[in-house]
Amino acid sequence: MIQETSIERVLNRLEAGEDDFAVEIQDFAEAQPALATYLTNEEHEILSEEERSLLLFGSLVIYQSVQEERTDGVPVSEAMIGQAEEANYALMPEKGSFRDRLTPFFEDSEEEELLAFIEDLISAEAEEESISKEARAPMFIALKTVVDVLTD
């Protein structure tokens, strides 16, 4: 399980702007090309530019947090991403409040800290109205998919 301290360390470093975000994204894309393609494909074109930036930011935090605690760093495949995404969509109930719809993801997860980070990120941005109501579930699924393929 990825620890909260790792997530906070990566988040603080990225938010402090110590490193160039574009360079960080480029490094991520080179290390995980299938994942970068997944995050920037037309499926996510329903997201606004700000929402897509937040999706990349969240993915970068997840990736770097996993890298900090694990050294395997094997590139994931399109098939792995597709299977994880499909399983995540199947797990999300269609009705209920956003937070209630996330409950099944937390029930048997070994990565509760990463899931809590995703939930907090989306909820905080939703309160600031940076994320549309329609974008919340697809963003959560995409970020949860990133967690699944990087931590399996």
Q: What is the pLDDT of residues 58-100, one digit of tens each?
A: 999 999 999 998 877 789 999 999 999 999 999 999 899 999 9
Domain boundaries, the chain: 4-151
The pTM of the full predicted model, rounded to 2 decimals, is: 0.94
The whole-number pLDDT of residue 45 equals: 78
The whole-number pLDDT of residue 19 equals: 67
% residues pLDDT > 70 (the chain): 98
CB contact burial 60-71 (16+ within 10 A = b; e otherwise): bbbbbbbbeeee
Q: Token pair for residue 132?
A: 């549309």
The whole-number pLDDT of residue 15 equals: 84
Q: For the CA atoms of the chain, what is the radius of gyration?
A: 14
Residue ranges of the chain with per-residue pLDDT less than 50: none
Question: What is the three-state SS of 30-97?
Answer: HHCHHHHHHHHCHHHHHCCHHHHHHHHHHHHHHHHHHHHHCCCCCCCCHHHHHHHHHHHHHHCCCCCC
The whole-number pLDDT of residue 108 equals: 83
SS3 (DSSP) at 14: helix
